[in-house]
C-alpha cells in the first residue's frame, strides 16, 4: 500500500528567528503554501506505521492479487479423474483411385512384476487398413480389411529394394479351433516401371463367406515416407524407449556391479 503523508517543516526555535532571516522565512512559507508540496513516504518494513492524513490503495496491487490467486488455483488444480496421461492417436493415409491405405502404430504391452518393475508381454505392431473406393474420392470404410505388421515384417519392408517383392501370410485363428478359416495374404510387389510398389491384400474368410482383394499403388516417395516412419517407430514397438527412459547413471552402475551378467564389459573381462 502506498501511504502519502504531508510533511511539515520542523518547529522553528527562537534562535532561528532573527531579523536577517525573516524575509527568507516568509518567502519560504509562501512558496510552500502556493505549491502544496506533497512528500511520498514508503515504509513497508515499519513495525509501527505512523498514521497518515489519507491513504491510497493502488488498483495495480489488486491486479497482482488476482493474478496470484489465479496462479495458485491453477497450480493446485486436481489432475483428471482418470489420473492417466493423455493419449495421442496418429496415422498416415494414402488415397488412390481404387482404394485408400491408412497406417497406424500400436503400442507394446507391459505386465507388472512382483519387484515393481515391468516386463514387455506383447510387442507393438503397425496396423494397415485397406478400404475400397466407393466413388470419386470416397471410400467404404465399412468394408475395410486390416493387416497387422510385426516388427520383423516391418524390417522386411524397410530393407526392400526397388525391384524386390515380399509376401506375408496371416491366420488370425492360428492355434485355435477355427484355424484355417481366415486367410490373409499381403503382397508387396514392384510397379512395372520401377516407380514404386503395389500393396495387394487378399482376404478369404470362410466364416463370413468373404473373398476380397484390395490393392493400391504406392509411389517411391510414398514408400520412402512409410519406411521412414517405420524406422522411427520400430524401437518404440519393441518397448526399448521405456527401458531407455528408466536408466539412471547411479542405478545402472549399481546393477552392473551387482550382477555381472548385465555388465557391458563382462564378455571382454573373461
User: In the chain, what are the domain boundaries?
Assistant: 1-8+22-43+54-68, 92-250
Q: Is the pLDDT of residue 219 over 80?
A: yes
Which positions ≥6 away from 210 have C-beta within 8 Å?
203, 204
Q: Distance between CA 209 and CA 265 in Å, rounded? A: 58
Residue with cell 497450480: 75
34 burial type by CB count under 10 A (0-12 exposed, 13-18 middle, 19+ buried):
exposed
Mean pLDDT of 6-12: 46
Q: What is the mean pLDDT of the chain?
A: 77
Out of 50-64, 85-99, 218-232, 255-269, least confident range: 50-64
Of all residues in the chain, the percent with pLDDT exceeding 70 is 62
pLDDT-based confidence at 70, cuts 50/70/90?
Answer: very low
Out of 74-83, 95-104, 130-139, 189-198, least confident range: 74-83
**CATH hierarchy code of domain 92-250:** 2.30.31.10
Do the beta carbons of residue 222 and residue 96 sit within 8 Å?
no
Q: Distance between CA 223 and CA 135 in Å, rounded? A: 25
Q: Residues, the chain, total?
A: 270
Q: Distance between CA 139 and CA 99 in Å, rounded? A: 7
Which positions ≥6 away from 114 have C-beta within 8 Å?
none
Q: Distance between CA 106 and CA 88 in Å, rounded? A: 11
**In this predicted structure, what is the pLDDT of residue 39?**
44
Which positions ≥6 away from 264 have C-beta within 8 Å?
256
Q: Distance between CA 2 and CA 81 in Å, rounded? A: 45
Do the beta carbons of residue 130 and residue 144 sit within 8 Å?
yes
Q: Is the pLDDT of residue 75 over 90?
A: no
At 225, list the grid cell: 515416407
State pTM to two decimals: 0.63
**In this predicted structure, what is the pLDDT of residue 14?**
43
Out of 16-30, 190-204, 231-245, least confident range: 16-30
pLDDT-based confidence at 109, cuts 50/70/90?
Answer: very high
Out of 74-78, 122-126, 146-150, 159-163, least confident range: 74-78
Mean pLDDT of 150-168: 96
Amino acid at each position: 500500500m502506498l501511504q502519502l503523508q504531508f510533511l511539515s517543516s520542523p518547529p522553528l526555535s527562537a534562535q532561528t528567528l532573527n531579523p536577517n532571516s525573516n524575509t527568507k522565512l516568509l518567502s519560504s512559507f509562501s512558496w510552500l503554501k502556493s505549491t502544496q508540496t506533497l512528500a511520498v513516504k514508503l515504509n513497508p518494513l515499519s513495525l509501527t506505521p505512523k498514521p497518515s492524513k489519507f491513504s491510497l490503495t493502488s488498483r495495480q496491487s489488486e491486479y497482482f492479487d488476482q493474478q496470484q490467486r489465479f496462479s495458485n488455483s491453477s497450480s493446485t488444480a486436481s489432475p483428471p479423474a482418470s489420473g492417466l496421461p493423455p493419449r495421442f492417436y496418429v496415422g498416415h493415409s494414402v488415397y488412390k483411385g481404387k482404394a485408400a491405405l491408412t497406417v497406424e502404430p500400436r503400442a507394446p504391452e507391459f505386465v507388472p512384476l512382483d519387484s515393481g518393475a515391468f516386463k514387455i508381454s506383447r510387442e507393438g505392431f503397425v496396423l494397415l487398413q485397406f478400404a475400397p473406393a466407393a466413388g470419386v474420392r470416397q471410400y467404404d470404410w465399412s468394408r475395410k480389411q486390416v493387416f497387422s505388421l510385426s516388427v520383423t515384417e516391418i524390417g522386411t519392408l524397410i530393407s526392400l529394394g526397388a525391384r524386390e517383392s515380399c509376401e506375408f501370410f496371416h491366420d488370425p485363428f492360428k492355434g485355435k479351433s477355427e484355424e484355417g478359416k481366415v486367410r490373409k495374404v499381403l503382397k508387396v510387389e514392384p510397379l512395372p516401371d520401377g516407380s514404386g510398389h503395389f500393396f495387394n491384400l487378399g482376404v478369404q474368410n470362410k466364416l463370413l463367406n468373404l473373398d476380397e482383394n484390395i490393392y493400391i499403388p504406392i509411389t517411391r516417395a510414398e514408400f520412402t515416407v512409410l519406411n521412414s516412419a517405420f524406422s522411427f517407430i520400430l524401437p518404440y514397438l519393441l518397448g526399448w524407449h521405456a527401458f531407455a527412459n528408466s536408466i539412471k547413471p547411479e542405478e545402472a552402475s549399481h546393477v552392473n556391479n551387482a550382477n555381472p551378467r548385465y555388465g557391458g564389459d563382462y564378455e571382454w573381462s573373461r
